[in-house]
């Protein structure tokens, strides 16, 4: 488990919602997707002794990722640090576009689907050097992520570590895109380090969703954007600096933020279940609606930028939403309560009755 405080105490862990209920993830099922490796049940149980953790049937690996084992360990440690009584399933996909597509299809076909899935991997939307994603592949993944959302499954994904260079699936309109922060004393600011920084800016391929249009989202920095026709990222953020002897020291990157937010959503789903409500699924419409109360449940980040070079391209943190940290980092108890209230109101509105 972590050597240093993770998740940060500033976020309000262990989580207690306003009604005094201690949240642990009890009764909830979370998933972790990894690319480019395989992991056994015995290895997972060694990573998370005494926890409810399982390995799904892995894909054949044609393209490996040397960081697979470290990343899976970190993701599992973070989810359990946030939601210690949750049940976690790890899905091992081939590190290819087809591996992603086939893996998501397998989750959709499963009768034992999690209510939240964390993805810490991503690849550039566009690149001149052996692109990972094809236009057709992105379209197919978008359809599958939309299908997961219709099953009330929340997908959290890291926004990438390349500053204004946008990574997918973190730029998908169907994922909760997670940027990164770091603490300097008591101040929390945009994470950046020696050529890396919190991924954020405007996608080149994903159309802007209506909830961002209605919220009037704007990116403050360069390259200047005059025509907001594509999705802007991230939506939220969390501390990107994680330290554990089990992973060989310090790991930095937005890949720590995705499992933290998966843990937060797991706690929120526990609260919703206690209220007799279904899992939240996509939170975007509520998150970008100022009247929902969710935005007030964030630690708004206003310091730093996501430059990877000390200059441009980069975007700046600012009050409200920004293209480095989204709406900010969680105040977990208030976030869970605000989300439960918003979902309850939405249920009443959709039924047309307060009964």
Q: List Cβ<8 Å contacts ≥24 apart for 105-110.
A: 105/144, 106/56, 107/31, 107/148, 108/144, 108/147, 108/148, 108/151, 110/56
The strand pairing partners of 298, in sequence order, are 330
Question: Where does the pLDDT of residue 353 fall: very low under 50, low under 70, confident under 90, or very high at 90 and above?
Answer: very low
Domain 9-347 homologous superfamily, CATH:
Peptidase S8/S53 domain (3.40.50.200)
Q: Is 302 left (phi over 0), alpha (psi -120 to 50) or beta?
A: alpha
Question: Where does the pLDDT of residue 350 fall: very low under 50, low under 70, confident under 90, or very high at 90 and above?
Answer: low
Question: Where does the pLDDT of residue 312 fall: very low under 50, low under 70, confident under 90, or very high at 90 and above?
Answer: confident
Q: 69: helix, coil or strand?
A: helix
Work out the average pLDDT over 218-232.
Answer: 92
Question: Where does the pLDDT of residue 348 fall: very low under 50, low under 70, confident under 90, or very high at 90 and above?
Answer: low
Determine the angle formed by the axes of helices 135-150 and 97-109, rounding to 10 degrees.
20
Q: Tell how strand 52-55 and strand 116-119 pair up.
A: unpaired
Report percent pLDDT > 70 for the chain: 96
Say whether the peptide bond before residue 313 is cis (omega within 30 degrees of 0).
yes
pLDDT in tens, 44-90: 999 899 999 999 988 999 999 999 999 999 999 999 999 999 999 99
How far apart are the C-alpha atoms of 92 and 72, rounded to whole Å?
A: 9
Of the listed ranges 111-115, 242-246, 324-328, the one predicted with least confidence: 242-246
How far apart are the C-alpha atoms of 143 and 155, rounded to whole Å?
A: 13
Work out the average pLDDT over 248-262.
Answer: 93
Cβ neighbours, 10 Å, residue 218: 15
Is residue 224's pLDDT more than 60?
yes
Residue 355 pLDDT: 31
Is residue 352's pLDDT more than 90?
no
pLDDT in tens, 152-192: 999 999 999 999 999 999 999 999 999 999 999 889 999 99
Return the H-helix or E-strand segment holding 67.
none
Question: Where does the pLDDT of residue 94 fall: very low under 50, low under 70, confident under 90, or very high at 90 and above?
Answer: very high
Of the listed ranges 45-54, 68-77, 96-105, 123-132, the one predicted with least confidence: 123-132
Residue 21 pLDDT: 81
Residue 311 pLDDT: 82
CB 57 within 8 A of CB 94: no
Question: Where does the pLDDT of residue 347 fall: very low under 50, low under 70, confident under 90, or very high at 90 and above?
Answer: confident
Q: Show the beta-strand stretches assigned E in the chain.
A: 29-35, 52-55, 87-93, 116-119, 123-124, 154-158, 167-168, 176-184, 187-190, 192-193, 196-197, 201-207, 221-222, 230-233, 236-239, 241-244, 249-252, 298-299, 314-315, 329-330
How far apart are the C-alpha atoms of 344 and 338, rounded to whole Å?
A: 10
Work out the average pLDDT over 340-347.
Answer: 89
Is residue 247's pLDDT more than 50?
yes
CB 323 within 8 A of CB 200: yes
Question: pTM of this prediction?
Answer: 0.95
Query: Mean pLDDT, the chain, as a whole number?
Result: 93
Question: Where does the pLDDT of residue 266 fall: very low under 50, low under 70, confident under 90, or very high at 90 and above?
Answer: very high
**Tokens read off for 134:** 């094809």
Q: List the chain domain ranges.
A: 9-347
Residue 323 pLDDT: 97
Nearest to 75 by CA among 114, 32, 35: 32
Question: Where does the pLDDT of residue 244 fall: very low under 50, low under 70, confident under 90, or very high at 90 and above?
Answer: confident
Work out the average pLDDT over 10-39.
Answer: 90
């Amino acid at each position: 488990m972590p050597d240093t405080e993770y998740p940060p105490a500033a976020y309000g862990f262990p989580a207690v919602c306003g009604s005094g209920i201690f949240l642990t993830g009890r009764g909830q099922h979370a998933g972790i997707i990894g690319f480019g490796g395989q992991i056994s049940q015995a290895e997972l149980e060694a990573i998370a002794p005494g926890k409810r953790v399982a390995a799904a049937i892995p894909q054949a690996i044609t393209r490996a990722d040397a960081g697979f084992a470290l990343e899976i360990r970190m993701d599992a440690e973070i989810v359990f640090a946030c939601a210690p009584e949750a049940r976690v399933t790890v899905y091992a996909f081939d590190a290819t576009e087809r591996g992603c597509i086939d893996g998501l299809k397998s989750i959709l076909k499963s009768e034992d689907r999690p209510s939240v899935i964390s993805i810490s991997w991503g690849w550039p939307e566009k690149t001149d050097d052996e692109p990972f994603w094809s236009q057709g592949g992105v379209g197919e993944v978008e359809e599958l992520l939309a299908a997961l959302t219709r099953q009330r499954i929340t997908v959290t994904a890291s926004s990438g570590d390349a500053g204004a260079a946008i990574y997918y699936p973190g730029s998908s309109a169907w994922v909760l895109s997670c940027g990164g922060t770091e603490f300097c004393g008591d101040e929390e600011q945009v994470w950046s380090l020696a050529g890396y920084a919190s991924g954020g800016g405007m996608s080149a391929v994903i159309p802007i969703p209506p909830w961002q249009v209605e919220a009037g989202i704007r990116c403050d920095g360069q390259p200047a954007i005059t025509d907001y026709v594509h999705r802007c990222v991230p939506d939220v953020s969390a501390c990107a600096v994680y330290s554990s002897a089990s992973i060989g020291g310090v790991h930095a990157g937005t890949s720590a933020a995705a499992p933290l937010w998966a843990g937060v959503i797991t706690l929120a789903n526990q609260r919703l279940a206690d209220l007799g409500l279904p899992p939240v699924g996509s939170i975007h419409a509520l998150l970008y609606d100022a009247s929902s109360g969710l935005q007030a449940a964030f630690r708004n980040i206003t310091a730093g930028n996501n430059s990877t070079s000390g200059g441009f391209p980069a975007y700046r943190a600012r009050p409200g939403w920004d293209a480095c940290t989204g709406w900010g980092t969680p105040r977990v108890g208030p976030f869970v309560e605000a989300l439960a209230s918003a979902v309850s109101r939405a249920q009443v509105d959709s039924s047309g009755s307060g009964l």
